[in-house]
Amino acid sequence: MSQTTDTPAINVHCPHCGTDVAWTAENTYRPFCSKRCRLIDLGAWANEDHRIAGEPAMDETNLEDWLDPGERF
C-alpha cells in the first residue's frame, strides 16, 4: 500500500533537541531533525548513557559453573 502525496505530514519532536520535525520520506534523519542530533543520540547509546531497563541476560560471575569442562579453553 503506497502513501499518497496529499496526505499531511505528521510532526514529531526530535528526541534529542525537541524541535518539531515533519515525518516524511524526504527527511532522511527522522525522527531526528538533523544528522548532528542523530549522531549525538547514537553516541549516547554507544557510551551506554541510554539503556533499556530490565534484568541482565546472564550473570557472568558464575560463568565457570555453567560451562562444561570440555568447553573450556
Mean pLDDT, rounded, of the chain: 81
Q: What pLDDT, on a 0 to 100 scale, did the predictor assign at position 7?
A: 72
Q: What pLDDT, on a 0 to 100 scale, did the predictor assign at position 3?
A: 55
63 versus 52: the higher-pLDDT residue is 52
Rounded Cα gap, residues 19 and 66, in angstroms: 49
Q: What pLDDT, on a 0 to 100 scale, did the predictor assign at position 50?
A: 83
pLDDT exceeds 80 at position 58? no
Q: Find, among 24, 29, 33, the residue nearest to 4 by Cα.
A: 24
What is the pLDDT confidence band of residue 37, given thresholds at 50, 70 and 90?
Answer: very high
**Half-sphere exposure for 62 (CA within 13 Å, toward CB):** 4
